Structure 1
Amino acid sequence: MQNLSPRHVKTEESLRLGVVSGWYSTKVSGTFVSGPHDSEADCLRRIDEINPPVVKARPGVRR
């Protein structure tokens, strides 16, 4: 499981990095994983698709 977070890349930085400005999901190291996304909400949805939230089992329930 990767620890991904949303990051907004503004126009000035996008020119320096050679990417389109927008929202990107990034690793802790700063590596872009997906994007650009139109909004932070879109980026967070993509992060949830890549890294589904962990569902903890309820005590006493077996799978």
Structure 2
Amino acid sequence: MQNLSPRHVTTEESARLGVISGWYSTKVSGTFVTGPHDTEADCLRKIAEIDPPPPPPKKKKR
């Protein structure tokens, strides 16, 4: 599990970072993993695809 989060890079910031402006999934360290995405929703969908939530715990049979 990578614990990715969405991050918006503005036009001004994109020039400094050398990337295209848009939404990116990032690691806790700030490293870009995917992107740019057009919307935050698109970015969140990609995060869910790459890093799905853990399955619920299974109930123990008695």
* Length-normalised TM-score, structure 1: 0.91
How far residue 55 of structure 1 moved from its aligned partner, in angstroms, is: 1.1
Establish whether residue 52 from structure 1 lines up as the match of residue 52 from structure 2.
yes
**Where has structure 1 moved over 2 Å in runs of 4 or more?**
none
Establish whether residue 22 from structure 1 lines up as the match of residue 59 from structure 2.
no
Q: What amino acid is the match of 2:21?
A: S
* Length-normalised TM-score, structure 2: 0.92
Unaligned runs of 5+ in 1: none
SS at match of 1:47: helix
For 1:17 and 1:26, the matched residues in 2 are separated by 14
What do you get for the CA RMSD once the two structures are aligned? Answer: 1.1
Unaligned runs of 5+ in 2: none
What fraction of aligned residue pairs are identical, expressed as a percent?
74
